[in-house]
């Protein structure tokens, strides 16, 4: 269908990618990933024919229809004009039914078609652009962050919908979307496009294996280069004619090895350190108590409590008041009625969607220095480097930062506040996959309390032990995200009642704690067994010191077992941390 031949794209002297030779076939559902700024959206524009490549060509089959999810700029246009159906009379009823279904599933009504686009929020306009893209029913559908600004139900519907699109290329950082929709992953990295067959889980496994193999090859070639250089130095030191001749011969071998090292294509890994929260101050048992809270027409008698160590996700459809509630709790706006109380020793931090900074004209280093005025210059710069601001980038103004960079700066500031309660509003927005995974691990390891609004299903299921549903101006405890996604409009869950929910949560925590302790014991047994096997192999290697073939086999087996030991130890460490978090809740 579409062939990319020797494709290359640059802006000025900076190459996004080059020498790309790939093919998009019918039935390919490709997830396009990569760090922010690597050229994912640019590649979509190239495929759609909206940009011309710096070098190479794109061949498209004749009569192929390609549709790219649009960025809508005409705010005076009516929604009905945007979604106007131009099919012939036979297809018209079917297209109208599809349009009604799409609008209803993404939170719109038929009456919305008569509204101007300027009356919709940015997220609503994005969803309308998606309706238009799907209505076109093209041969190839190109999507750019289609899950942005959607609630969990909308994302769930979108995932089910695009499964019926035979061929698509989607830029996305939503791991659930990539896992459930895509059958191939393309990653833009180091000016190349790396191709992985299978879904997101398969991509992670293949990528890990390739990175390990590349690191092993790089290590072997580097050691060989070092060995040859020592031999050359030794021959040159002797200075005899024969020695110099030998040195020249080895120099040719060394040049060949260096060329191989230079031409070795590798996936660039993040060099930044893992995100870690400092051990927080221990708070009282009840961290937050909300009583009969009301605000305008959005919040009507909201009641709930959050206890020390709980990690709570607040879910609900767009526009029901989730962000408003967080803004009330953070002191940015006042409630109409009711009250809320922070518990003993609770120190909270709030990271908003808009990531508002007190003075956006300040530089990165000035903003961080306000948090830790006693720190010397080099310590602040080192801290900034951990969040993707190396060298002179610390002098960039906040106004010049991208959405992802502003989010990382907000996290850098939050981690310096030593808070024990985090209020997070869409914390993964604007972050690439590596940053999302790093943040997820940091939140899982955090020993404090979290109240989080997020549309990232995987983040919620990985981090949170409790789900609150906001609906019809109230807040309800629910068992799981699945319960929310399957909830019918006519059904209302039971409102949160503190005593019953507290008993249920303690029972669940107790069961989880028991399972974790059993799992930890199993891991310890596995680690001991692997260690004994490594000791046996070491002994066998000593006995076969002069048997090269046997020695190579044993060394490879030992390396595999050592990798398993490291993996088991890391898993044990994570399990111990989770056990400590649960024990702190009792």
* 27-73 pLDDT, tens digit each: 999 999 998 888 999 999 999 999 999 999 999 988 788 878 766 66
In this structure, what token pair is assigned to residue 286?
């009840």
Distance, C-alpha 91 to centroid of its chain: 40
What is the pLDDT confidence band of residue 499, given thresholds at 50, 70 and 90?
very low
The pLDDT, as a whole number, for residue 363 is 93
Whole-number Å distance between alpha carbons of 369 and 561? 46
In this structure, what token pair is assigned to residue 255?
């040049």
What average pLDDT does the chain have? 86
Q: Give the other-Cβ count within 10 Å of 28's Cβ.
A: 18
The pLDDT, as a whole number, for residue 83 is 84
Q: What radius of gyration do the chain's Cα atoms show?
A: 28
This prediction has a pTM of: 0.72
- Give Cα separations from 39 to 187, 189, 193, 240, 463 (angstroms): 10, 10, 10, 56, 31
DSSP 460-525: HHHH-SEEEEEETTEEEEES-HHHHHH--TT--PPBP-HHHHHHHHHHHHHHHHHHHHHHHHHHHH
Residue 386 has pLDDT above 50, yes or no: yes
Helix H or strand E segment including 124: helix 122-135
Residue 353 has pLDDT above 60, yes or no: yes
Residue with the bigger pLDDT between 402 and 491: it is 402
Give the CATH fold of the 2-205 domain.
Answer: Rossmann fold (3.40.50)
Helix H or strand E segment including 305: strand 299-307
What is the pLDDT confidence band of residue 502, given thresholds at 50, 70 and 90?
low
Residue range 287-490 in CATH 3.40.50.300 = yes
Q: Which of 145-154, 299-308, 543-552 reaches the highest mean pLDDT? A: 299-308
The pLDDT, as a whole number, for residue 234 is 86
The pLDDT, as a whole number, for residue 45 is 93
Report, as an integer, the average pLDDT of 459-486.
Answer: 90
Nearest C-alpha neighbor of 495 from the set 286, 290, 284: 290
Residue 152 has pLDDT above 60, yes or no: yes
Residue with the bigger pLDDT between 86 and 359: it is 359
Whole-number Å distance between alpha carbons of 402 and 389? 12
Are 570 and 542 in contact by the 8 Å Cβ rule? The answer is: no
Under 8 Å CB-to-CB from 568, ≥6 apart: which residues?
A: 523, 526, 527, 530
Are 149 and 127 in contact by the 8 Å Cβ rule? The answer is: yes
Whole-number Å distance between alpha carbons of 340 and 509? 26
> pLDDT digits over 415-432, tens only?
888 899 999 999 988 888
Question: How many residues in the chain?
Answer: 586
Whole-number Å distance between alpha carbons of 475 and 315? 9
Are 6 and 43 in contact by the 8 Å Cβ rule? The answer is: no
Are 462 and 440 in contact by the 8 Å Cβ rule? The answer is: yes
Report, as an integer, the average pLDDT of 555-578.
Answer: 85
What is the pLDDT confidence band of residue 493, given thresholds at 50, 70 and 90?
low
What is the pLDDT confidence band of residue 271, given thresholds at 50, 70 and 90?
low
Report, as an integer, the average pLDDT of 491-506.
Answer: 56
The pLDDT, as a whole number, for residue 498 is 47
* Pairing verdict, β 311-315 and 466-471: parallel
**DSSP 3-state assignment of 565?**
helix
Whole-number Å distance between alpha carbons of 554 and 538? 8
Residue 460 has pLDDT above 50, yes or no: yes
Are 485 and 156 in contact by the 8 Å Cβ rule? The answer is: yes
Report, as an integer, the average pLDDT of 350-360.
Answer: 82
Whole-number Å distance between alpha carbons of 221 and 229? 12
Whole-number Å distance between alpha carbons of 170 and 42? 12
């Amino acid at each position: 269908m579409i062939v990319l031949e020797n494709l290359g794209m640059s802006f000025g002297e900076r190459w996004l990618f080059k020498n790309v030779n790939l093919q998009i076939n019918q039935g390919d559902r490709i997830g396009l990933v990569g760090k922010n700024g690597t050229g994912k959206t640019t590649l979509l524009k190239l495929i759609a024919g909206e940009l011309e490549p710096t070098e190479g060509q794109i061949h498209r089959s004749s009569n192929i229809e390609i549709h790219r999810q649009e960025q809508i700029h005409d705010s005076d246009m009516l929604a009905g004009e945007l979604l106007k159906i131009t099919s012939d009379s036979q297809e018209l009823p079917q297209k109208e039914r599809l349009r009604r279904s799409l609008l209803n599933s993404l939170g719109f009504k038929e009456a919305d078609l008569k509204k101007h686009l300027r009356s919709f929020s940015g997220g609503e306009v994005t969803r309308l652009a998606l309706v238009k893209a799907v209505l076109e029913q093209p041969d190839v559908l190109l999507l750019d962050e289609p899950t942005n600004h959607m609630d969990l139900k909308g994302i769930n519907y979108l995932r089910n919908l695009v499964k019926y699109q035979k061929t698509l290329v989607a830029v996305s950082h939503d791991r659930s979307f990539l896992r459930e929709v895509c059958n191939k992953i393309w990653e833009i990295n180091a000016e190349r496009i790396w191709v992985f067959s299978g879904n997101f889980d398969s991509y992670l496994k293949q990528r890990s294996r390739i990175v390990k193999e590349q690191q092993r090859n790089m290590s072997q070639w580097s050691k060989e280069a070092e060995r040859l250089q020592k031999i050359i130095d030794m021959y040159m030191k002797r200075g005899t004619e024969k020695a110099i001749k030998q040195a020249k011969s080895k120099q040719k071998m060394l040049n060949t090895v260096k060329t191989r090292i230079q031409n070795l294509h590798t996936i660039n890994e993040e060099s930044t350190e893992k995100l870690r929260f400092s051990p927080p101050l221990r708070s009282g048992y009840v961290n937050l108590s909300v009583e009969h809270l009301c605000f305008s027409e959005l919040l009507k008698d909201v009641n709930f409590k959050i206890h020390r160590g709980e990690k709570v996700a607040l879910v609900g459809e767009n526009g029901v008041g989730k962000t408003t509630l967080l803004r009330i709790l953070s002191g940015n706006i006042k409630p109409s009625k009711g009250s809320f109380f922070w518990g003993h020793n609770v120190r909270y931090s709030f990271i908003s969607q808009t990531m508002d900074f007190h003075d956006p004209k300040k530089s990165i280093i000035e903003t961080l220095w306000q948090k830790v005025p006693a720190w010397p210059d080099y310590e602040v710069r080192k801290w900034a480097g951990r969040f993707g601001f190396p060298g002179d980038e610390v002098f960039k103004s906040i106004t010049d930062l991208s959405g992802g960079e502003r989010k990382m700066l907000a996290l850098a500031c939050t981690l310096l506040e030593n808070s024990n309660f985090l209020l997070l509003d869409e914390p993964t927005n604007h972050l690439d996959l590596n940053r999302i995974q790093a943040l997820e691990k940091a939140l899982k390891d955090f020993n404090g309390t979290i109240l989080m609004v997020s549309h990232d299903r995987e983040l919620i299921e990985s981090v949170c032990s409790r789900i609150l549903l906001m609906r019809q101006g109230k807040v309800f405890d629910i068992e799981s995200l699945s319960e929310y996604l399957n909830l019918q409009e006519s059904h209302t869950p039971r409102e949160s009642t503190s005593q019953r929910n507290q008993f249920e949560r303690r029972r669940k925590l107790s069961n989880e704690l028991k399972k974790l302790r059993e799992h930890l014991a199993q891991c310890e047994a596995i680690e001991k067994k692997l260690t004994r096997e490594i000791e046996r192999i070491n002994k066998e290697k000593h006995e076969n010191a002069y048997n090269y073939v046997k020695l190579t086999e044993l060394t490879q087996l030992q390396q595999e077992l050592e990798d398993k030991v490291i993996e088991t130890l890391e898993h044990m460490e994570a399990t111990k941390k989770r056990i400590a978090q649960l024990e702190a809740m009792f």
